Structure 1
Amino acid sequence: MTTAAVRTEWAQQVRDLADQRNAVILAHNYQLPEIQDVAHHVGDSLALSRIAASVDEPTIVFCGVHFMAETAKILSPEKRVLIPDANAGCSLADSLTAQQLVEWKAQYPDAVVVSYVNTTAAVKALTDICCTSSNAVDVVASIPADKTVLFGPDQFLGAHVRRTLDRENMHVWGGECHVHAGINGAELAAKAQEFPDADLYIHPECGCATSALYLASAGAVPADKVKILSTGDMVTAARAGQAGGTRSVLVATEIGMIHQLKRAAPGIDFRAVNDRAACSYMKMITPEKLLRSLQELRDEVHVDPATAARARGAVERMIAIGQPGGGE
């Protein structure tokens, strides 16, 4: 897909087929720009989960990684859910298995289990409440302070939540996203020195989140420039920043996010802290595979009904946190 004319023709084919199939296309913020541009809805995991639970179309084409499509199927079991490449996995989801969670829970039988949405359906089925990076703090804050919390699988997001809430009775699994973990503090410090006037947007899955707070505490960057944000919150912050006169932002997350940020705030110069931070799994969803998925209705996602039933409550509780009338 090399010319604007070819891209335009492809996008029209995709949208026409989606109409014919009565399908809605959902795309995560880390998808290729072409995929983001053709999708009916683009967002972070929480926003897309809420959309998947409420869309009218009988078919959902989920352009993301496999656990996201699984989550859509859990929330809408009556719908057909397709993923353009069933091999699009997730290193973070792979870092905590259902058997490992069973063994961990056995060590703390009275604990409340909070699982990041970046987990398999089998792990969600063993979970009390799921969370995303945008509501993880609110989810854990909703749990009574005297209750022990098991938080998994992302160690960096867990550390962020524990630090924010000063929650001592919270145990964090040692998993990580290989892409976010690879964005390190040294790179962040060097970029901040190179662009001293830039705001810092840091995803809490990043290995450099603690470094960003250290830079602020040491006076290397102004504290008000450091923002620990989910991808959805980055978009909100970008729009507000442009209105407030922000001109430069360093972004520590998967590089697909830059496209969505530029769309939201074209007046800001967005630069990746690590321009090699690309998720190969996210990039498996190509324009050709999306078109084929709609043409052939292939790579349908199935979740065992009993597993889905057990997982649904944890995901629905996640969606309710932060909504009017939902959560504490």
Structure 2
Amino acid sequence: MNKRIISNGFIGLIAGCLFLSCNQGGSADTTWLRGANFTPSTAINQLEFWQEETFDPETIDRELGWAEEIGFNCMRVYLHHLAWEVDKEGFKDRMGQYLAIADKHNIRTIFVFFDDCWNPTYSAGKQPDPKPGVHNSGWVRDPGDLLFTSPELVDVLEAYVKDILETFKDDKRIVLWDLYNEPGNSGYQNKSMPLLQSVFKWAREVKPSQPVSSAVWHNGLTDLNKFQLENSDIITYHNYSDEINHQQAIDTLKKYNKPMICSEYMARRNNSLFTNIMPILKEQGIGAINWGLVEGKTNTKYAWNEPIPDGSEPEPWFHEVFRKDGTPYKQEEVDLIKSLTLL
């Protein structure tokens, strides 16, 4: 039985037009997806991003403008089911506002549903202040530990995923649905398999026009990796290592003969840099989505597990491209990015 969500013809269009040869003219090279994982600098996590009280279109507009100026044309953006659960119509309206702003800046979007990273619990309303010098101190999983203590939550999650997909399933401003970020992280391992399988099933039932995927990120999670690679329309993956390791990962994944996007890379401490990774991805027609655009409340300029409690400046920054005022963290990096993205 053919379990494809979208037609082979559409997959071919994705491969040819988004990554290789559909230059539409203008000052930007539109043949290749590149951009960043985006949270506005005024949001500590997905809930502060999307809740009505703290949704910040002015900051989103300003910061996506900076992205456009350096030739970025795609953002990867995390959602959260709780923001939908407490305000379903408002949440979808704010997604629409975000998409309109991004489209104004010639930026398409990858939306992410679930996530196994960072804090296991969460609540609606005011979010915590950042802990000085701590990477992603306020980021929250979705659904996190609540799924294991309240199994009835799966019904809410199904309704959430299907509502969002039904609402936006033909929206050309969305390039991909990333169904589950890093399943198995936070020690969950194969405990994440049932939700991973379910979210792909729910997406197949809706049949969005856009492709769906879930990125492989850890070689040791063999069962999860197998399911992700076999069921994703586009191969997405995360790699925060140097160019040798990264190329080895690419070579391993090419055997699936599907379009590819690296949906997380660029950790300066780890020698995963714009200078040594981005040219490789462009040359091989692989989408390039680094972690972080503007320094802000997520504190991801600080490295994983290397807090600086006094909040002083890390050297080098772990992630991010721009300072809060829009100036580049490293001008030479931005010059390199523009040389690859602007004609």
Shared topology, TM-score over 0.5?
Answer: no
Larger radius of gyration: 1
Whichever structure has more helix as a proportion of its residues is: 1
Tell me the TM-score normalized by structure 1: 0.28
Tell me the TM-score normalized by structure 2: 0.28
